[in-house]
A and B are shown apart, each in its own frame.
Chain A
Amino acid sequence: MAFLHGVATGHSQVKNALKGRSLTPYLLLAPGLIWLITFFIIPIFSLASTSTMVRPDGAQVGVYVQELRFANYVDAFLINKDQYLRSFIYAALATLVALAIAYPLAYAIAFKSGKYRNILLVLVIAPFFTSFLLRTIAWTQILADQGPVVSAIKVLPFIDDLFRINNTSTAVVIGLAYNFLPFMTLPLYASLERIDPRTLEAAGDLYANGLTTFRKVTLPLSMPGVVAGTLLTFIPAAGDYVNAAILGNPSTKMIGNVIESRFFAVVDYPTAAALSFTLMATILILVSLYIRKSGTDELV
């Protein structure tokens, strides 16, 4: 009895300690949240404020005053709508390529790897210990005009001599898909690994063949991973400018390239700010539509 009593008080103690209304959670949260508010939320407002500024006549380079000129957004968008649209198209293509590569890969690791599972998971993230800039530059060598890939493709009879991959949109999409592949693979793996193998056996017992089992059981159960993976690939890909700068040409510039050059080469802060703000707003709208459509609110 005494023992039971101890267990009972123990439980209630834990309950009090863990769920009690105290100041402790707020004290734990405060430093980190203050950091995020100061260096993430306030800068977003700062960005918004910069986006409506105007350069006074005859002022120094980089000096702007607030005039609440919302037409900055219209100007910035109209000049750069090609790069803007291109960013989303490239990001969408790269996301599809990454999904096509990562889904079977994650599936193989989750269901077919046996005792090598942990090693294979380490191997998925291992390439990302090498600087991503060096890896992107390595792609320029791999896809070079005299390089192995282009030479191999040129052997085909219907490929003409001027065929190249480097400095084309194909190279940019390949680079983007490559760079964000682990962000696609890991959430897919996490959701596939959670599937109870008995549900797959049950499908087999009910005379579903391999394809039907995949379509009706595995795929729906892995949807949270698909949603998380596509978001984690699409968002950074849409804002990236490194792949377009290294693997592309002037006509494959993405919105990130424009924002960077407006900030540093042109020193036109309001346009850069307006473009960044529009990019963020568009992504947030797309993401919330996508999350609602796919019915997974778990992410947030």
Chain B
Amino acid sequence: MTTSIAPMPTLSHRAARWFSRNLIRIYAAVAFIYLFIPVAYTFAFSFNDAGKSNLVWQGFTLDNWKNPCGAPQVCESVVNSLKVGVISTLLATFLGTMIAFALGRYKFKGRKSTNLLIFLPMATPEVVLGASLLAMFLNLRINPGFWTVVIAHVMFCISFVVVTVKARIASLDPRLEQAAMDLYANERETFRYVTLPLVMPGIAGAALLAFSLSFDDFIITNFNSGTFSTFPKFVYVSAARGIPAQANVVGSAMFFIALIIVIVGQVVSRQRKKP
């Protein structure tokens, strides 16, 4: 008697137990769906046979991917964004890494105010950063354009570079540098052959972060660009009259390129760890 009824309650009981035990995992899965739905939409609509407005699904086509420069201004704005991104990344990574080394490796007076100066741009809303820089350029009668955008991007990227590289320096084992010096390496050699290679992954990560911040920035760019157009600015301006599907191609391509870079970076660093 009991054996014939028993399986049902145990099954539902088991299901309930599985559910409560995996509740957090289910929740995380739902959170990931929330994160990726807009990306999936952007990707799907890059294949839309859209014509002028890309808001409604019209049919599948590969034309947008075959001809990403087909719509006016898409590629010009991407090239502009790449130029700004590369120059700002190089400058911000260089300046920020030096600050990170000073903070991570030296005792000096003014350390607290330096930390505050690094923290403040990150604690200031973008609209204030953009507006204040534009106010200065206007007061100095400087016309905004390519270089004012680069200046702005370097300014807000430096803090993020400092934080990233400083964390890497702080996680280094000081005994490695001591060992180098015990082996009669001088200060410069120790830095060149031991410290710098160890900090390099942090610097690379910071550069990647700086580039993605620069490439995706809209608010500060919008304030300080004048008639110069970047990709996010192009998307915002054309939102009113319809964004071409080619913009979705660019967005999706950036997504996959960045993902590949990150995955390759992870694999390389894992292989290096293996002796």
A residues with a Cβ closer than 8 A to B are 6-7, 10-11, 13-14, 17-19, 21-22, 24-26, 28-29, 31-33, 35-37, 39-44, 46-47, 49-50, 62, 101-102, 104-105, 107-109, 112, 118, 120, 122-124, 126-142, 144, 178, 181, 231-232, 235-236, 238-242, 246, 255-256, 259-260, 263, 269, 272-273, 276-277, 279-280, 283-284, 287, 299-300
Contacts and interface: CB of A to CB of B under 8 A. Distances in A.
What secondary structure prevails in chain A residues at the interface with B?
A: helix
Given A131-B231, A300-B116, 6 more contacts: A10-B179, A35-B95, A35-B155, A108-B24, A246-B239, A287-B123
A107 B31 CA distance: 12
B73 interface: no
B258 interface: yes
B115 A269 contact: no
Among all A-B residue pairs, the 10 with the closest Cβ atoms? A239-B125, A32-B95, A129-B258, A108-B28, A25-B106, A46-B136, A47-B132, A10-B182, A138-B38, A43-B132
B101 A28 contact: yes
B131 A276 contact: yes
A259 B38 contact: no
A247 B183 CA distance: 62
B251 interface: yes
Interface stretch (B5-13, B63-71, B196-204, B259-267): B259-267
A137 B251 CA distance: 12
Contacts of B255: 126-127, 129-130
B50 interface: no
A239 B128 contact: yes
Contact of A239 (B24, B127, B177, B266): B127
B27 A104 contact: yes
Interface string B220-261: 001100000001100110010001000110111011011100
11 contacts: A7-B182, A36-B118, A43-B133, A112-B28, A122-B263, A126-B39, A131-B250, A131-B251, A178-B38, A260-B223, A300-B116
Contacts of B17: none
A299 B119 contact: yes
Contacts of A235: 123-125
B28 A104 contact: yes
Contacts of B35: 123-124, 127, 178, 181
Contact of B24 (A32, A107, A134, A137): A107
A122 B266 contact: yes
A238 B251 contact: no
A33 B117 contact: yes
Interface string B25-43: 1011001101111110110
Contact of B119 (A25, A135, A300): A300
Contacts of B25: 108, 112
B27 A108 contact: yes
Contacts of A241: 127, 219
Interface string B114-148: 11111111111111110111111011000000000
Contact of B99 (A29, A255, A287): A29
A259 B119 contact: no
Contacts of A102: 31
Given A14-B181, A137-B235, A256-B127, A46 B154 contact: no
B31 to A, nearest CB: 4
Contact of A46 (B96, B102, B135, B216): B135
Given A122-B266, A130-B252, A132-B218, A10 B135 contact: no
Nearest to B116: A300
Given A135-B39, A242-B218, A256-B127, A276 B178 contact: no
A47 B239 CA distance: 30
B136 A101 contact: no
Contact of A141 (B45, B158, B222, B251): B45
A284 B133 contact: no
B72 interface: no
